[in-house]
Amino acid sequence: MSTESTISHPYPAPEGVLLGHLTPGSEAWDEARAGLCITATEIAAAVNLSPWMSRFTLWHKKAGLRVAPFEMTPAIEWGSRLEDAVAGKWQDEHPGRLAAPAGTWRHRERAWQRATPDRLIYPQPAGEFEIPERAEELLEVKTSPFGDDWGPDGAEDGVPVWYRCQVIWQMDTLGLRRTRFALLIGGWDYREYVVDYDEAEAKILREAAVKFLEEVRDGVRPPIDTADDTYQTIRVQPDHFDDVDVEIPAEDAARYENAQAASKAAAAELTAAKSVVLDHIGTGRRAVVGERRIAYRIAKPDGTTKSLNPYQQKAAA
């Protein structure tokens, strides 16, 4: 059953085609995102820039093969729960603008190009019964525990590249030219960013998506990479167990054995390094070098250490 219809929208629509205001996880939601299409949350994986999904895993998903089941993490759950609150904060900061739920869209000509923005931004109507003008911009709402991937508030390049891919795709799908970000870090640090549409970037993403979908149709599987979710995807491919020996290439066996040995050595060195850092921290919370945060300590109720966790460091330019 097709999800496309002439669904009415409370405000005049952008240039894309509205597929509906679908509940995440519902049958209609899954159907609108299934098959040979690329959504805004998938485009970063298609160009190998997503920290959550590898190109390998996305290929299997689009080919109709098994992938590891979705797991609702605390970060995802609370990001969803806090979305309305963060959007409300943006609304308070921008009187005269109205941020309304956006729904799921496809491009008017490229039916395989899909997007589900968080909000559409309209001029605030003067009266209760007045209809706003055409949607002008998109609002994307994000939450982050530490914000290490984000730049300072309002920074021109402050948005992580995978989210930039997402919103360039959304704007290209709906025909809009600006996305505003509302970000809440650690439950209290509120920031805003702006990303303007870039036709050159959109063209790169479209061409990459077309190539990716062609590889899916042609059965050209991406190479196995170092992503954990690639390993999880491979784990779920077998559908039964045969108690037999399987001959593998000697170079692959050597790679596995060498990696096992290196992993043991690295694990031992990491344990020693964590002990040294934790010893420096003592009763404190964070280990820093100048303004750079290295690690943070989580304490138990009695003050002893529950865990030592690293801050994600941005790669040097």
The three state secondary structure string of 74-114 is: HHHHHHHHHHHHHHHHHHHHCCCEEEEECCEEECCCCCCEE
Chain-wide mean pLDDT for the chain? Answer: 90
Residue 101 · residue 119 · CB < 8 Å:
yes
The C-alpha atoms of residue 51 and residue 36 are separated, in whole angstroms, by 22
- CATH 3.90.320.10-classified regions of the chain: 17-232
Q: Give me the helix-helix angle, 199-218 and 161-174, nearest 10°.
A: 90
The C-alpha atoms of residue 142 and residue 154 are separated, in whole angstroms, by 14
Check whether 15 has a pLDDT greater than 70. Answer: yes
The C-alpha atoms of residue 143 and residue 75 are separated, in whole angstroms, by 8
The C-alpha atoms of residue 114 and residue 104 are separated, in whole angstroms, by 7
Six token digits for residue 158: 């402050």
Percentage above 70 pLDDT, the chain:
91
Category of 147 on φ-ψ map: left (φ > 0), alpha (ψ -120 to 50) or beta: left
Model pTM score: 0.82
pLDDT tens string 146-185: 888 999 999 999 999 999 999 999 999 999 999 999 999 9
pLDDT tens string 65-85: 999 888 888 888 888 899 999
User: Which residues are 106's β-sheet partners?
Assistant: 17, 114
Looking at residues 252-278, what average pLDDT do you find? 96
- 128 compared with 16, residue with greater pLDDT: 16
195: three-class secondary structure by DSSP: strand
Check whether 136 has a pLDDT greater than 70. Answer: yes
Check whether 2 has a pLDDT greater than 60. Answer: no
Looking at residues 298-306, what average pLDDT do you find? 94
Question: What pLDDT is recorded for position 77?
Answer: 87
Q: Which CATH class is domain 17-232?
A: alpha beta
